[in-house]
Amino acid sequence: MVTCHPNDSLDQVMMHHPVLLIEVLSPGTESHDRVWKFSRYTQLSSLQHYLLVSVNNWLVEWYRREPSGVWSYTPLASQDDAATISELGIVLPLADIYTELDMVPQLDKPRT
């Protein structure tokens, strides 16, 4: 979780104004994270980016709040893909996210 709000640094337990949330999905809680948490998190007016990181394959699901307030969805699955979080000035390449795992990206199947 990343916040830029000065009051969040005063609370050592909880951040109330996150800009970015990254959720690593586990098989036991994936449904809860996708439905219950997502519906709660997207109600936070400060939240601009919500990333769901799969542990089963190279997949980061990137939800971002557009200027209109609508949430857009971008699946990232290639070793060349990256989430660019302009509000924080950071780029999160999938290759860096999955670097420590014994996992390779799935290659597209050749067309026949």
Across the range 20-46, mean pLDDT stands at: 89
Q: Which of 25, 26, 29 is nearest to 50 (CA)?
A: 25
Residue 111: per-residue pLDDT: 43
Position 4 scores a pLDDT of 45
> Tell me, what's the pLDDT at 2?
47
Per-residue pLDDT at 33 exceeds 90: no
The answer to whether residue 20 is domain-embedded is yes
Residue 98 and residue 59: Cα distance in Å, rounded?
A: 10
Note the helical H segments in 1-112: 30-32, 38-41, 94-97
What CATH number does residue 58 fall under?
3.90.1570.10
Number of domains in the chain: 1
Q: Each residue of 47-94: pLDDT tens digit?
A: 999 999 998 888 999 999 999 999 999 999 988 999 999 888 999 999
| pTM, full prediction | 0.78
Look at residue 34 and give its three-state secondary structure: helix
Q: Print the domain residue range for 52.
A: 16-97
**64 in any annotated domain:** yes
pLDDT score, position 89: 92
